[in-house]
Homo-oligomer: A and B are copies of this chain.
Amino acid sequence: MQKPSIPKGTRDFSPVEMMRRNYIFDTVKRVFRLYGFAPLETPSMENLSTLLGKYGDEGDKLLFKILNSGDYAAALSDDEVRQASKICEKGLRYDLTVPFARYVVQHQGELAFPFKRYQVQPVWRADRPQKGRYREFYQCDVDVIGTRSLLCEVELVEIVDRVFRALGIRVALKMNNRKILYGIAETIGHADKMTDITVAIDKLEKIGLDNVKAELLERGLEPEAVARLQPILELSGGNRQKLDALRAVIGASETGLKGIEEMETVLGYVERLGLGLQVDLDLSLARGLNYYTGAIFEVKALDFAIGSICGGGRYDDLTGIFGMPNVSGVGISFGADRIYDVMTGLNLFPEEVSSSTRVLFVNLGAEEEAASLGLLRTLRDAGIAAEIYPEAGKMKKQMEYANRRAVPYVAIVGSQEIEAQAVTLKDMRSGEQRQVPFAGLAECLK
């Protein structure tokens, strides 16, 4: 018989991986809750009409479609069967943003706005599997929708600060504002070329100023427009300096000015809060998603080379696609897989996260087992994860089991221990053994 396997691009998460992942998820969710965000879950399947056309042509191709159940193809012509639209009405969700927008529109009458929700669920994409890219992966999204208040942006910055401090990851937060990017494009007379310009700015670090300028010319900008862009490409200094310089160049663009003011407001709040987090205005930050209309965010780990581990922004019309226009929101998404990789790479998981059991009782036979069961009950009542090896057997085998499970303490209850009413407690890391009275065991293991 062939050894069973799983579909390519999917993963099993072993107990140790799960405990570490849960440590991340629990931290993120705990922080979300501190800020008043409440959990939401949407179905894994959405109607294809909800999903199609929301992620561009490329995205449509990456949707996993679910075959209609029942004798779906019986009444269809061969051509109809070949059109997936006739045999599939449902697809697996591609992200958490579109289902969130769909939820808000569908339940608008029941919701209290501003609506603050977090959502931690898997999404599916039929991408070609490769290192670090999976066909099923979790997203951790937090959004507030129904207000334009910039306090929400500030709150997200605080959340970023608190999450990564709790996880022990040093990060830098890059911020930009789509209105500034639009202002730049407008100022040089190419409001229609905002995407080309931001793509070019984004390449600045990689290919250098001269190549970026050459590329802009190629994309149809006049030499004068490129010349006017130059001071922006050469912006340097702190956030305040950059904003002042920007104001001098694009201050005549109403939208651009609005973007500068928004950025100043948010940065002003952040400064007054005195966060440890480094927040940098970065004009090269564009973020691909075309629904962003205001602030955009991206977080990078300082001590580990990997792409962004968190990002997001403000959108002014996400629910418009479902017929509910002019509802502004802002949100960010934490990349659990990359955060996991950073924490593994920097050895940041606390040791106790990776073991499920605090103490294992070896099983030495019926009488010893009976004594152990009473102690186990006391420990569990005290909230201490404890277990007994289920079969009496060789001590060596039981010790090996404790080792493989990374159980930090082993309790030995033999006839001597029963007589003395004291457990022999072995610290599996140091190998040290000591006697602990039955009555003091819970306290000792806390």
Distance in angstroms between the alpha carbons of A136 and B384 in the assembled complex: 34
Distance in angstroms between the alpha carbons of A273 and B110 in the assembled complex: 48
Which single member of B69, B107, B360 contacts A36 (CB below 8 Å)?
A: B360
Residues from 96 to 140 in A contacting B, C-beta threshold 8 Å: 102-103, 105-107, 110, 112, 114, 116-117, 122, 124, 126, 135-136
Contact present for B322 and A1 (CB under 8 Å): yes
* Among listed A168-176, A194-202, A385-393, interface-contacting one: A385-393
| Nearest B residue to A320, CB-CB | B1
The reply on A217 being an interface residue by CB < 8 A is no
Q: How far is the CB of A140 from chain B (nearest CB, A)?
A: 14
Q: How far is the CB of A393 from chain B (nearest CB, A)?
A: 10
Interface residues on A, range: 35 or more
**Digit string of A1-36 for contact with B (CB within 8 Å is 1, else 0)?**
111111100111111101100100000000001111
The reply on A351 being an interface residue by CB < 8 A is no
| Nearest B residue to A272, CB-CB | B370
The reply on A62 being an interface residue by CB < 8 A is yes
Given known A-B contacts A7-B46, A81-B82, A147-B390, A67 and B65 have beta carbons under 8 A apart: yes
Which single member of B19, B82, B147, B390 contacts A149 (CB below 8 Å)?
A: B390
The reply on A302 being an interface residue by CB < 8 A is no
Distance in angstroms between the alpha carbons of A269 and B46 in the assembled complex: 49
Contact present for A4 and B102 (CB under 8 Å): yes
Q: Is the interface of A mostly helix, strand, loop or mixed?
A: mixed
Contact present for A386 and B34 (CB under 8 Å): yes
Contact present for A64 and B73 (CB under 8 Å): no
Distance in angstroms between the alpha carbons of A35 and B373 in the assembled complex: 12
The reply on A443 being an interface residue by CB < 8 A is no
Q: Which residues of B contact A356 (CB under 8 A)?
A: 33, 36-39, 116
Q: How far is the CB of A166 from chain B (nearest CB, A)?
A: 11
Which single member of B45, B152, B370, B390 contacts A7 (CB below 8 Å)?
A: B45
Q: Which residues of B contact A66 (CB under 8 A)?
A: 64-67, 92
Distance in angstroms between the alpha carbons of A387 and B66 in the assembled complex: 41
Q: Which residues of B contact A254 (CB under 8 A)?
A: none
Contact present for B273 and A377 (CB under 8 Å): yes
Which single member of B1, B6, B37 contacts A323 (CB below 8 Å)?
A: B1
**Digit string of A68-95 for contact with B (CB within 8 Å is 1, else 0)?**
0110010000100110100111101000
Q: Which residues of B contact A433 (CB under 8 A)?
A: none
Contact present for B147 and A35 (CB under 8 Å): no
Q: Which residues of B contact A49 (CB under 8 A)?
A: 4
Q: Which residues of B contact A84 (CB under 8 A)?
A: 67
Contact present for A273 and B43 (CB under 8 Å): no
Which single member of B4, B37, B135, B147 contacts A106 (CB below 8 Å)?
A: B4
Contact present for B19 and A40 (CB under 8 Å): no
Q: What are 29 A-B interface contacts by the 8 Å CB criterion?
A: A1-B322, A2-B323, A3-B322, A4-B106, A4-B322, A6-B42, A6-B43, A6-B50, A10-B45, A12-B40, A12-B41, A15-B39, A18-B38, A19-B38, A34-B384, A34-B385, A34-B386, A35-B380, A35-B386, A45-B64, A45-B124, A45-B136, A64-B67, A64-B69, A65-B66, A66-B67, A67-B67, A114-B390, A147-B390
Closest 5 CB pairs of A and B: A36-B387, A15-B38, A1-B323, A10-B43, A69-B126
Besides A4-B49, A35-B386, 19 other A-B contacts (C-beta < 8 A): A7-B46, A7-B90, A11-B43, A13-B40, A18-B38, A18-B39, A34-B380, A34-B385, A36-B356, A45-B124, A61-B70, A62-B69, A64-B66, A64-B69, A65-B67, A78-B81, A112-B401, A149-B390, A272-B370
